[in-house]
Amino acid sequence: MTSARPEVPVHVAIIMDGNGRWARRRGLPRLEGHRRGVEAVRTITFAARDLGVGMLTLYAFSAENWNRPADEVGGLMGLLEFYLRKELETFVRDRVRFRTIGRIEGMPPGVRRLLAATEEATAGFTGYTLNLALNYGSRTEIADAARDYAAAVAAGREKPDDSSWETFSRYLYTAGMPDPDLVIRTSGETRISNFLLMQAAYAEFVFTPVLWPDFSKEDLAAAIAEYGRRERRYGLTSEQVGKSAAPAAQ
């Protein structure tokens, strides 16, 4: 998966924030903000592809979001089901590979079935991937990876003295995916909120005040342009980066 233009990030990850504030400012229920948030998901999925991005990861539901009021959690799950039912056909038509990261086994059975069907129907597409983070948290991801890695060592599938990141990262939910080059957070908040902590080790961050339901293709293009102006050094000096391509980060 390579981006056509070098200044365009291969993998963009977005913390979609501000649905609640968008609704409150209009005197609407929070769920209406989430509904408009789903519209933005649709727009940005195709905008990213049109701009030359290879993979888009969206933080749709965090492991901590279960603690929100029950009606909001139920509403979000309902929206997710509605979204998946509607989008399957679009993904197949437009050759979008659909994937997920997170503790998917903790999602409601109806949603799990739709997720599996969508992943299966789009598994053969290689040009562009939409990756939804659901019931996702970096700390649970590390804990799950450590458990699975320990089990692999106990079963003799991994060497006990191998402490390389390359090996361990194969046990993360993101195994086989490129690290995000650019992480965007909307709504003016400047936190990472337990999102891709390890994978974003060398990512560039762009924070925008735009609330997620208002986030447009132009806003995404502006974030990508900002990314293009940054110099990624991967621990090297400017002079070194100028001379040769950056080495693979460990």
Name the site residues for ligand FPP (rule: CB under 6 A): 16-21, 34, 37-38, 41, 60-61, 65, 76, 79-80, 83, 132, 187, 212
**65 noted as active-site residue:** yes
Shortest reach from residue 205's CB to ligand FPP, in Å: 17
Of the residues 19, 50, 65, 181, which is catalytic?
65
- C-alpha 220/C-alpha 31 separation (Å) is 24
Cα 70 to Cα 65, 66, 172, 229: the distances in Å are 10, 8, 29, 43
- C-alpha 53/C-alpha 224 separation (Å) is 9
**161 noted as active-site residue:** no
Nearer to ligand FPP, 8 or 11 (CB): 11
Shortest reach from residue 86's CB to ligand FPP, in Å: 10
Shortest reach from residue 19's CB to ligand FPP, in Å: 4
Nearer to ligand FPP, 17 or 204 (CB): 17
Sheet holding 129-136, edge to edge: 97-101, 129-136, 55-62, 11-15, 182-185, 204-207
Nearer to ligand FPP, 85 or 147 (CB): 85
Contacts of 20 (CB under 8 A, 6+ apart): 30, 33
* Enzyme catalytic residues: 17, 65
